Structure 1
Amino acid sequence: MKIHREGHTLLFVLLIVLTVINGLVNYFFPGEDTLSKVVLLVSILFYLIILQFFRVPYVNTPQDPNLVYAPADGKVVVIEETEETEYFQGKRKQVSIFMSPINVHVNKSPVTGQVKYFKYHPGKYLVAWHPKSSTENERTTMVIETAQKTELLLRQVAGALAKRIKWYVKEGDLLPQGGEFGFIKFGSRVDIYLPLDAEITVDLQQKTKGGRTVIAKLNQ
């Protein structure tokens, strides 16, 4: 377990702010032991809550070109056949994973492959489960092509709380299966668009673990 680099500055500043707050309480309310203990306890709990947002557990993803792993920790909220209009211009199977504030926020590549397409879209901040969030919210779109020439599209979608999408890839990059490609601060959702002949191996409302839960099998 480690702390993600996206949280280093925030956690350092927050530690200083909470230390100052506790120091001011002790200075202006000397002898108020109960108040000091309550403020200290609240500060510790709040810091631990923010700290867990940025945790990164160690994950050893088994490499298998026929498997598609979950790109994020969370819960499956969409499994459907849909029209993908940005890149494929055709029907695909969509699986969407909702990341709550208590989930790990790292996004991992579901397959090994090359980034063939990447684009950032500014947009709204509708709640992540809103039907239009995939096309109207702030988001990124990434297409990965496997060695077998199968293309998968992944979309990071911001939500009402998550207004900081981070990505660490560009077109032409090679991604290993389970490799980190992005981070969404304070949760949201990740959509993955699969070929129509892919076999979905998860159910609605099922919990997933990024780089560990197999969400589909490819017919390659």
Structure 2
Amino acid sequence: MTNTDDKLQSWRSPVFLSAVEECRWAREVAAHAHAGQRDKAGEPYFNHCQRVADAVSGDREKAVAFLHDVAEKAPGWTPERLKEVGFSSEVVKAVELLTLQPGETKDALVIRAASTPLSLAVKRADLKDNLAQMKNMGRSGDVYLRGLHLLSEASSVLPPQRRAGFQRQKDQGSSTGQPMGTSCTAKAKPVKTTGGRLNGAVRAVLAVIAILFVGGCALGVWLLYT
């Protein structure tokens, strides 16, 4: 993105972003951070981030989806830097839970990702997208199937309050009217107004007034000279 470097230099905490703004900023940062990177199929890596974001609902989940590989795969990006450029603690924490740590196994990462509603939803979408990509390439996706199984097992033993939080987030995502796959960067539909009809009515009234005025003047002149 052309203005991202300037924003990274000037946008520092404390900055309050709405969920929609945070999602749009996450998309821009991810596109910048993954620029030039390719995935296992040779496609731009950001396409994977976009697909994962499209697979979840709610702007917070989409923000995490865009950023889920930034701290792990993009040089110079850390959770601390994400905080500095204005992302909320909730989003940054979820990104941390989705980031492979030194010496950590991928199984351990999957189990850890199940610990919060945000990271759980995004990790599930991430694994499913990787699995679909492997199938499209004619390669084995067993590692991703195993990850989905582990994620399901880990989420089933979440404390009740965390499971309730996950359900609340799902409900909030559906109550916004934002369908799955809708990007938070989608342009708003133009709003229809009655301005045109009002302007037409005003013009009609003015025309009547003008006619009455001209008629009155003509009548006055006729009476004056008769």
The TM tier, using the shorter chain, reads under 0.3
**Where is the helix percentage greater, Structure 1 or Structure 2?**
2
Using structure 2 for the length normalisation, give the TM-score: 0.23
Indicate the structure (1 or 2) with the bigger Cα radius of gyration. Answer: 2
Using structure 1 for the length normalisation, give the TM-score: 0.23
**Where is the strand percentage greater, Structure 1 or Structure 2?**
1
